[in-house]
Amino acid sequence: MRIRFKKRYIVIAALNAVSLIGTAVLTAVGGSMAGSQSYNYAAERWKGDSDLDYSQISCFFSDDAGFSTDSLNSVKSQFLSELETVSISPEEGIGLITDAYSAPLGKEQVRTDGVGRSDAEVTAVGGDFFFFRDFRLESGAFFRKDDVMQDGAVIDRTLAWNLYGSDDVAGMDIYINDVKLYIAGVIDLPDNDAEEQCIGDTPRAYISYESAALIAPEYDGDYGMGEDYSYTPSFRRINCYEYVMPEKVSDFAENCADKIFGEAYDGKIDVVVNSGRFSPSKRAKAFKKLYKTAVRSDAVRYPYWENASRIVEFRLSYIYGLRKLTYVIPVLTALWLVIKGWMFLRRNKSRIKDFAGRCAEKLRMKIKRRKNKVPGTAESQ
């Protein structure tokens, strides 16, 4: 017997299939795009096998905010105090918090002992900076915050080729403003569209704050603190401060940033919650408020990795906003089926009741016959 379906059922089924395929495709594209911004997943890497939940927070300061390396010890002490309020003592908290900080030094000429010369965007970094960045190493290693000597530099592959014609140059010497450093490691270039758009064409080098103090000793030290501000002879400014800490209470890590930085740096700081920023629900909800993210009135400048993540946020808001629309047809179809089912039940209430009664009677008789066949029962004797 050949079954024939009405055309409208075929159309409805086809529309639902297209909607489900669209949902799957948009989900896959969104997941891949979010995953490309690995710097936003430092909390997951730091968590490891811990039973605690962690959150990653980034704080971006304007040039005149006045936040510097001199403030770090105080900030960490306040973090530990806040952890105590949620029953995580300093003894237990050692190793639970990690942080990183950085500031751009600007474009400098980098040279070698030979003929190699190249301009590079130089960034001063401290803390667990390379853990947060999750760069891909081509050769060498990252310098560490506990290294005795802080004269290492991590450069990108383009700068390595400009200077030495190779990316296998770990251990080689370079000079920035006549300050001698060695190449600790060479990193690969970004491989996603958002970071490629934001990083620019100039090669990049990352050095310690100790090296930065030698390279830029004449930095004006103007942190916007007025005429009474005493000049600091070393480079200490922080434009980007980021940390990972336990999230024992909802929004705890973000609230710590607001409490510690909010009033002191009002209008000169932007706090970003990296953890969960790309979640479909959050991005779809943000679709209606994209203009608030696009328009800014403060003087905060973002590093390229944050600008890239903001581009991805924009794109994901559209992707997940569109994905919401793909739910419309399946939801309407489900509602239509419920209504059709309810109408069918109303029209055939008595017939369904009779059918259910007959089925129940057949089941009762079947059970009775089975009991009669069981040896030792009264019925079988």
* Mean pLDDT value of segment 166-190: 94
Which tokens belong to 297? 């009135």
Q: What would the DSSP string read from start to end of 69-133?
A: GGGHHHHHHHHHHHHHHTT--HHHHTTT-EEEEEEEEEEEEEE-SSS-EEEEEEEEEEESHHHHH
Residue 287 has what pLDDT? Answer: 58
Segment 90-130, tens digit of pLDDT? 555 557 889 999 999 989 999 999 999 999 999 999 999 99
Q: Is the pLDDT of residue 67 over 80?
A: yes
Segment 252-267, tens digit of pLDDT? 999 999 999 988 888 8
Rounded distance between C-alpha atoms, residue 133 and residue 188, angstroms: 12
HEC profile for 320-347?
HHHHHHHCHHHHHHHHHHHHHHHHHHHH
Mean pLDDT of the chain: 84
Rounded distance between C-alpha atoms, residue 254 and residue 271, angstroms: 8
pLDDT band at 186 (very low <50, low <70, confident <90, very high): very high
Q: Is 264 helix (H, G, I), strand (E, B) or coil?
A: coil
User: If you search the block for the tokens 């040896």, which residue do you land on?
Assistant: 375
Residue 271 has what pLDDT? Answer: 93
Using alpha carbons only, what angle is made at residue 182 by residues 179 and 185, rounded to the nearest 5 degrees? Answer: 135
> Of 156, 164, 154, nearest to 116 (Cα)?
164
Taking a C-beta distance cutoff of 8 angstroms, is the pair 269, 261 a contact? yes
Instruction: Report DSSP state, residue 288.
Output: G
Strand partners, 180: 175
Rounded distance between C-alpha atoms, residue 243 and residue 265, angstroms: 17
What percent of the chain has pLDDT above 90?
39
Q: Is 95 helix (H, G, I), strand (E, B) or coil?
A: coil
pLDDT band at 230 (very low <50, low <70, confident <90, very high): very low
AA letter at 252: F
Residue 226 has what pLDDT? Answer: 42
Strand partners, 187: 137, 156
Q: What is the pTM of this model?
A: 0.78
Residue 52 has what pLDDT? Answer: 81
AA letter at 241: Y
Instruction: Report DSSP state, residue 68.
Output: B
Each domain of the chain, given as residue ranges in start order, spans 37-277+296-303, 330-371
Helix segments in 216-303, DSSP class H: 252-261, 280-286, 290-294
Beta strands at 117-127 and 204-208: parallel, antiparallel or unpaired: parallel
Which tokens belong to 151? 């004269």
Sign of torsion over alpha carbons 108, 272, 53, 34: negative
Strand segments, DSSP code E, in 141-249 are 152-156, 173-176, 179-187, 204-208, 240-246
Using alpha carbons only, what angle is made at residue 15 by residues 13 and 18, rounded to the nearest 5 degrees? Answer: 110
Q: Kindly state the helix (H) or strand (E) to which residue 24 belongs, with its residue range.
A: helix 7-35
Q: How far is CA 150 from CA 110, 126, 153, 213, 278, in A?
A: 18, 10, 9, 11, 35
CA atoms within 13 A on the CB side of 192: 19
Other Cβ atoms closer than 10 A to 353 = 10
Radius of gyration of the chain (CA): 31
Rounded distance between C-alpha atoms, residue 325 and residue 319, angstroms: 10
Rounded distance between C-alpha atoms, residue 193 and residue 314, angstroms: 13
Q: Is the pLDDT of residue 236 over 90?
A: no
Instruction: Report DSSP state, residue 69.
Output: G
CB within 8 Å of 232: residues ≥ 6 apart: 68, 70, 221
